[in-house]
């Protein structure tokens, strides 16, 4: 029986890169997104062609009712969930200096990027623990996709940085809590990845990368993140719960 993974925000960008890697690794998939299913049919078809059985779970993960509905759909269709990938994320609608940023923007970003991770992890973890109690051989994992912004300051999008820093702590918390059940929790921390979210700042980062911001002088791609997540999901790091996997081209290496 194939393992099942839920990827939030899995219909495009980094999420789709992760979903493709999981499909290639032999997972069946529940893909979450906010768009109508018609708008993501090409992505779903591509995942199906890679060998995965795929269901689409539309819903805004910042909302409690939507999170419950997503998990219920997975229970109804697959009857199991092995891996939760908390990937869904938004950027501030408008980048503003932290001396001018609004509470509305803060609430918007943290609700999607942090609150959803915390409470979807809670619900999924309880389900995984229940599955473990019914089947001692059950294998589960939670993988949080954060960002170098968890530790790298951007004063014009403070709410995003705080959300990702909070996600990093959530990883530690759930790793500690789920250790007794041997359900590992990981954080994958991407750097500069070519997606819709970064398309507006391409020129800025092209210049910075050329000047040596990253050790590997190229953009990262969703596939780079996907390969890391798939390795974790497959159980290739069984004794590394709570760890951060950097996917940033060496951006985090201190250099003189």
Burial 216-241 (b: 16+ CB within 10 A, else e): eeebbbbebbbbbbbbbbbeebeeeb
Longest Cα–Cα distance of the chain, Å, equals 55
The answer to whether residue 118 is catalytic is: no
CA dihedral sign of residues 68, 91, 114, 176: positive
Secondary structure class of 184 (helix, strand, coil): coil
Positive or negative: CA dihedral 143, 78, 182, 116: positive
DSSP designation for 193: B
Q: Tokens in use for 128?
A: 């995984």
How many Cβ atoms from other residues are within 10 Å of residue 139's Cβ? 18
Q: b/e map of 12-49 (b: 16 or more CB within 10 Å)? A: bbbbbbbbbbbbebebbbbbbbbeeeeebeebbeebee
Give me the catalytic one of 56, 108, 118, 160.
Answer: 160
Q: Give the Cα separation of 232 and 188 in Å (integer).
A: 9
Instruction: Tell which residue, 230, 245, 232, 252, has the closest CA to residue 26.
Output: 230
Rounded Cα–Cα distance for residues 228 and 85 (Å): 12
| Residues catalogued as catalytic | 160
């Amino acid at each position: 029986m194939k393992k099942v993974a839920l990827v939030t925000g899995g219909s495009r960008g980094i999420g789709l890169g992760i979903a493709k890697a999981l499909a290639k690794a032999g997972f069946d998939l529940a893909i979450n997104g906010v768009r109508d299913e018609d708008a993501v049919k090409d992505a779903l078809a591509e995942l199906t062609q890679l060998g995965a059985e795929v269901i689409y779970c539309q819903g805004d993960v910042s909302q409690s009712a939507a999170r419950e509905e997503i998990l219920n759909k997975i229970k109804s269709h697959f009857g199991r969930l092995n891996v939760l990938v908390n990937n869904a994320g938004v950027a501030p609608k408008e980048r503003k200096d932290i001396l001018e940023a609004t509470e509305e923007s803060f609430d918007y970003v943290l609700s999607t990027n942090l609150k959803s991770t915390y409470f979807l992890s809670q619900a999924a973890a309880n389900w995984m623990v229940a599955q473990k109690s019914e089947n001692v051989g059950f294998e589960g994992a939670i993988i949080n996709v954060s960002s170098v912004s968890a530790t790298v300051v951007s004063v014009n999008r403070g709410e995003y940085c705080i959300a990702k820093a909070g996600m990093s702590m959530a990883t530690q918390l759930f790793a500690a809590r789920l250790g007794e059940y041997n359900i590992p929790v990981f954080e994958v921390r991407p750097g500069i990845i070519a997606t819709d979210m970064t398309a507006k700042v391409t020129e800025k980062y092209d210049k910075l990368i050329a000047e040596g911001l990253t050790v590997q002088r190229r953009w990262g791609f969703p596939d780079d993140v996907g390969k890391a997540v798939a390795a974790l999901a497959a159980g290739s790091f069984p004794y590394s719960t709570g760890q951060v996997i950097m996917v940033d081209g060496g951006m985090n290496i201190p250099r003189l």
